[in-house]
Chains A and B, each alone.
Chain A
């Protein structure tokens, strides 16, 4: 991974404009929603529901970028753009996304408590 897990400039800006308490609440929401979205991606892939796959990847991308999880956002964007192309959107890609999310989740938990 060449990029850092969380871009601090983006995260600090968010904290400054929206308020620290609110960002804590927002991180908590993301930590509940993100595993759900990962599940949805797997289900959509298995069910070949291209619309749902694209939409969920899109949301995942947008949320990741909000917190400065730029690497995670880039991976989600790739999935959004790949559609259901089996060479690009497959179980291995989702595993990689989940692994990066685990790093993001740990980093965000640390940052919100800092």
Chain B
């Protein structure tokens, strides 16, 4: 949709009657919109799947597929349900008009359509759509696609559910001295590149970055959408992250900049996933022992001098498809029993 929203929108007129179709199209074109038309509901859905429209003007009484059926189809279609619909008909009976509104029609205009009223209703609908589109863009910017999609289809409620998943923590080694040694703009640029690479590796394996703090991040594999082989996906993402950082370092060295190193820790098991915070501001995250363990393991990469460390539950999920080296049991703060830790062999992948 073009700027302004009031005019110059792309509209679809659906009416089986030629006189009505011509007249409505004419009125809309006079108001500066670009208009396509369809003769019945089935044809309209075909056009809608092919092309994007800002608004639909829908007749109800039509052969093949009537307006009620079109409204029902649109309502059940994730791609199309946000397209506003104004019903234009000379329906008999208030109950029919009520049915249109209940099926999700934005408005109802009786025929013959008054052009002044038409202009006002279309302006209002397009403005509402513009605001909704804007909201969707914001949602995508501040929430991961999986979370945005779940929010749009399921709505928002605080609270969680038990999931079987893998959690990853990662950060840049010796980031603070590096940040202090260069101009802030350069640090932000470094972080932006770093995050772009990490997001690509993580989402490429079906993971979700749920948290970013400075140079550190937390990612979940297996929530909100289940991922059957979440343990292997997490490990593969980690390997790809290391590979991407290596490539990035090649680029940095040509600019005379020091290489960066990252550490990655992964743990798997049952945890609670969901929205925490308040109704005004919330975030999708995971909590539980497994999450704490992943954070401790990640911190341990520094002492162990290894890039990727995983717990035994994660190791059990990758079989012999990825080579690992057992580092033996490690005592972590806050854990009464020692934890078996494995290092993922980097060379095996190359």
Contacts and interface: CB of A to CB of B under 8 A. Distances in A.
Interface of A: 10, 14, 17-19, 22, 25-26, 29-30, 33, 52, 54-55, 58-59, 61-63, 65-66, 77, 80-81
For chain B, give the interface size range.
10 to 19
A17 B62 CA distance: 26
Given A33-B18, A80-B92, 8 more contacts: A17-B115, A22-B26, A26-B23, A33-B17, A33-B19, A58-B61, A59-B16, A62-B20
B90 A65 contact: yes
Interface string B17-32: 1111011001100100
B112 A81 contact: no
B329 interface: no
A62 B90 contact: yes
Given A59-B17, A61-B90, A80-B92, A66 B112 contact: yes
Nearest to A66: B112
Interface string B292-333: 000000000000000000000000000000000000000000
Contact of B61 (A10, A33, A59, A63): A59
A66 B26 contact: no
Given A22-B26, A59-B61, A81-B92, A65 B112 contact: yes
B35 to A, nearest CB: 14
6 contacts: A22-B26, A30-B19, A59-B16, A59-B17, A62-B90, A65-B112
Nearest to A61: B90
B22 A26 contact: yes
B226 interface: no
Interface in B6-21: 16-20
B305 to A, nearest CB: 78
A83 to B, nearest CB: 11
A66 B61 contact: no
Nearest to B92: A81
A81 B115 CA distance: 27
B214 interface: no
B111 interface: yes
A18 B26 contact: yes
Given A25-B22, A29-B22, A66-B20, A58 B90 contact: yes
A59 B61 CA distance: 8
Nearest to B113: A66
Interface in B161-203: none
Given A29-B19, A55-B63, A59-B61, A66 B111 contact: yes
A17 B61 contact: no
7 A-B pairs with the lowest CB-CB distances in the bound complex, closest first: A66-B112, A59-B17, A62-B90, A63-B19, A58-B61, A62-B111, A17-B115
